[in-house]
Structure 1
């Protein structure tokens, strides 16, 4: 089914919302977690005014007809004005501030950055210092502006913004459905950072899917702790909510990365009458572990995504809150939306979401409901390809996701594995090649393989196994230090590196990663059991055809071990 668009661009959509409800709160930033809370808010009228000002600022400070604005910012109201203003004037390029300097230079060069905005100098982050260093290394001059905190010798974004008009933009300055809106960075399949090109149409298709599914209405309040460089933060919890005309609560500059925010989550729900909250599975699990010390009756349901949601977490949310935890499945290459919740019905534990008629999703090779295979996606949410690259994953209009799964007879999607062995850590897609290429550059390392080991908090954590050249020696700690110094993406740094005499290989000589995943899981279990591990009988970690892992013991466990192992299996999402 094709999507009918009532607005030709994001600007047109937000303009229409602001005209209807100019005084309604669009964005509320919590700045103090004390008992009374303190916050700053922007109305829809103020947001629209600032989007217009940002658009004019970017055109003024750039030589390009369609300027590219890269930014390194937390989830603050200014970031939203910059994001949607940049998409109106040209192209937005939100970047993860945790990327190292080399990676940021590479991405901004590829994007053709004209203006760079970053969180100003402050005592708790080095974002500004990194931005200054990157700006000096770019091949063309860029305008660098500090945001939120002032920087000596630079014009502060907020002060500069006030000098531009908030009058309506001329129609001939505005983008259309097929104009480019943003470049989102993603690890892709080779470990080399790529920029996924999202057009206005892609993002508005995500909005349509979101609105069909979520049924948000005037009076709803959504809490979002995800930054805008995360496609779920910008598209699902950001743009889609703004186009619905509802209030978004931003839980401090740090978002859900701050343990204090998680501890105060239920009190914020009560204070701001939040109706929908959630986050990546690890954030939701942390929330549920905090005693509910407030009136949370305003909540309608929770949502999660970014990585598979354990069935046990759905049960925990239901047990603690009496609410459903719905999952969203999306990709950067699909503007964040593929399968969405069906809030008309209870959640289906283990499901990644419901497949709407507004999107074409099929299982490659499947002949009937329930058949498994690679997920292929087609429709307006699907991007046009990676900027400046030929390795386009589209074939005849279909995006090959690399994920394996099936759709049941009721239209629910289940993800059962990953064709390309991506490691998903707290919602971050980590390409094993990023780790492997790094380690194989070490002069002592002949071969490296990275896999994900299960983790109760992060879902998966990256670990690596290496094989050394004959006659060479290096310690595992030296390799860990080398990886920490070399890998650009902090979440991709392995939690441990183990040196093997030889990596396990298949009959045709390819590294057999299931064996390494099993070994990593066995090591994890023994570490978590502590002293009890000495009492474990011989056991095996089996990799099932579905890609799931299961524990197999040669003999019955004692009551003490049975309780401990059963708890671990549930936390690590292992079958018995």
Structure 2
């Protein structure tokens, strides 16, 4: 049955009702396939839409049982989980949204950060990957629950724990029958708390409603021309809005078949190496990944039949033009970008598939979304902060009384402009600006220049603290596999192609691989910490040339860099120098 005649997702009473509608339309169609292993031979497991919906019902009853809710209770429990993007995570995510509030958590967060988030969300139950030799998800869940002031039930997933059988074994004890009406949500109910990105500090919890999620699903269905005939490889994590909502819920709304490429997703190097083979095996029609994974794919020869692919997608960060050109040359396919953020349930701009892609464009405003540019200065050439309003936009952060919206508008913090055709271009982050002696430098100018060099795969420009200029631009570079180039050549390339002298980088550092967040974005906080450590080390070498020092640095949640300086030859002079550097460079230095 074609989805073209189906009601729009946004017209549904809730996400549950949307899933019910799709599953009733195509009960025997493939919903999910999890690749359990790639080598020595590929092993996978497929779940139909009917099985998915039956297990969703069972999971709802399992959650209510463990939380201790009676049959007639309308209480909506908060369900936190630390899981990879696998079939069981899909049961738990959508069951949580259907009977309560889902709270997907990044397993790379510290136990302290997880505890804060769980307590802020008022967690009732945690699902976590059970004890196994490859991850510490279960140990973190146990530790966070133990530190919490709340009485939280723990359920292991995939792997059993000493104190409880695995989720799948427990699931069979519960009924798949239809649910009582009083358990079901409505559009104004809270659907989920998604935390903002980051692996340090205590991120905020973004409150998302059922209506927000339906609007995201609607935007995907309208823009992506997807149907039950499509297959998508989704290697993004379930705690991220792109993996869970845009591709996840959007894909379910369209009735597509989703393939999860191992528990590690796109973080598994073997998945990238075998990506084109997986396309052929599963006849994937929708392909792509985050920019860093797309960059890696440009180095993977195509040794398979990928004619099933209709187009490629990228999102989560700006895609370097050279990477887009390389992947299009390699595959012969159009590559389109999607732009969104946690506060907009993953969607702001979507592609127009009927038109050729614009490699530097983030897409066009999604269905129902309004986009306005708040220009920073009269001579900004239309570049300003991107502001958005629409049904995907959240209303508040959990526990924060002050509204982040002005007349419904949310300031994204991203800089960009709209061209004459309404295509959105992102030029940088307002908070990423490097301010050198009062001169505002957009890192994208530097990064784009270096990424045009044939040897460069990725570049990330950050600020290095300087007592005189305040900040200096420096760049960290990852080369294409097998490429060889000198720092001198890259510096000459930057000087030749960056017109404004203040924006020309003061230093270029080659790294084997740029540090990435859990969702594959370049971790600029780590690079800023490296740059700060470099600045302090240089200054100490100048003032205390005879003393060998060791420096470790980290970015604090407040945005300041903290450095630990250790030496075998401690002295009052060195302590005074560290104190002076802390003041002059605006750093926290522990000596």
TM range, smaller chain: 0.7 to 0.9
Are 1:519 and 2:474 matched, yes or no?
yes
Aligned to 1:15: 20
Deviates more, 1:528-537 or 1:160-169: 528-537
**TM superposition shift of 1:390:** 3.1
Aligned to 1:394: 405
Which of 410, 428, 444 aligns to 2:421? It is: 410
Change (3 A) 1:503 1:97: farther
Aligned ranges for residues 540-559 of structure 1 at < 5 Å?
540=495
Aligned ranges for residues 169-188 of structure 1 at < 5 Å?
169-187=179-197
Q: Structure 2-normalised TM-score?
A: 0.74
Aligned to 2:62: 57
**TM superposition shift of 1:6:** 2.8
**TM superposition shift of 1:533:** 2.5
How far apart are the structure 1 equivalents of 2:79 and 2:208?
14
**TM superposition shift of 1:417:** 2.1
How far apart are the structure 2 equivalents of 1:126 and 1:286?
27
**TM superposition shift of 1:60:** 1.8
Are 1:46 and 2:51 matched, yes or no?
yes
Secondary structure, aligned partner of 2:294: helix
How far apart are the structure 1 equivalents of 2:379 and 2:10?
32
Change (3 A) 1:460 1:552: closer
Deviations 1:487-530 (A, max 9, x none): xxxxxxxxxxxxx6x2633xxxxxx4xx3xx2346999xxx976
Aligned ranges for residues 152-163 of structure 1 at < 5 Å?
152-163=162-173
- Give structure 2 stretches of 5+ with no counterpart: 1-7, 70-74, 435-442, 511-521, 523-591
Deviations 1:70-92 (A, max 9, x none): 10000110000000000011000
Are 1:6 and 2:14 matched, yes or no?
no
Contact 2:218 2:367 in 1 (8 A): no
Change (3 A) 1:535 1:48: closer
Change (3 A) 1:211 1:535: closer
Are 1:533 and 2:544 matched, yes or no?
no
Aligned to 1:281: 291
Aligned to 1:308: 318
- Give structure 1 stretches of 5+ with no counterpart: 424-450, 467-499, 506-511, 554-563, 565-571
How far apart are the structure 2 equivalents of 1:418 and 1:28?
37
Which of 202, 206, 210 aligns to 1:196? It is: 206
How far apart are the structure 1 equivalents of 2:493 and 2:300?
36
Deviations 1:112-156 (A, max 9, x none): 110001001111111111111111111111000110011112232
Change (3 A) 1:4 1:36: closer
How far apart are the structure 2 equivalents of 1:87 and 1:5?
16
Secondary structure, aligned partner of 2:156: strand
Contact 1:540 1:552 in 2 (8 A): no
How far apart are the structure 1 equivalents of 2:37 and 2:193?
33
Contact 2:462 2:474 in 1 (8 A): no
Which of 275, 290, 294 aligns to 1:265? It is: 275
Which of 32, 38, 57 aligns to 1:33? It is: 38
**TM superposition shift of 1:540:** 5.0
Are 1:99 and 2:109 matched, yes or no?
yes
Contact 1:307 1:459 in 2 (8 A): no
Aligned to 2:580: none
Are 1:374 and 2:421 matched, yes or no?
no
Secondary structure, aligned partner of 1:5: helix
**TM superposition shift of 1:37:** 2.4
Q: Structure 1-normalised TM-score?
A: 0.76
How far apart are the structure 1 equivalents of 2:125 and 2:461?
34
Contact 1:226 1:256 in 2 (8 A): yes
Change (3 A) 1:358 1:269: same
Aligned to 1:336: 346
How far apart are the structure 2 equivalents of 1:536 and 1:420?
25
How far apart are the structure 1 equivalents of 2:458 and 2:180?
48
**TM superposition shift of 1:418:** 1.4
Change (3 A) 1:138 1:237: same
How far apart are the structure 1 equivalents of 2:309 and 2:147?
48
Change (3 A) 1:373 1:162: same
Change (3 A) 1:26 1:550: farther
How far apart are the structure 1 equivalents of 2:214 and 2:490?
57
Change (3 A) 1:120 1:344: same
**TM superposition shift of 1:541:** 9.5
Change (3 A) 1:300 1:139: same
How far apart are the structure 2 equivalents of 1:245 and 1:226?
19
**TM superposition shift of 1:458:** 8.9
Change (3 A) 1:543 1:393: farther
Are 1:133 and 2:143 matched, yes or no?
yes
Which of 399, 419, 437 aligns to 2:430? It is: 419
Aligned to 1:437: none
**TM superposition shift of 1:35:** 7.6
Which of 304, 324, 338 aligns to 2:334? It is: 324
Change (3 A) 1:15 1:503: farther
Secondary structure, aligned partner of 2:169: helix
Secondary structure, aligned partner of 2:401: coil
Which of 148, 157, 171 aligns to 1:147? It is: 157
How far apart are the structure 1 equivalents of 2:490 and 2:273?
36
**TM superposition shift of 1:310:** 1.3
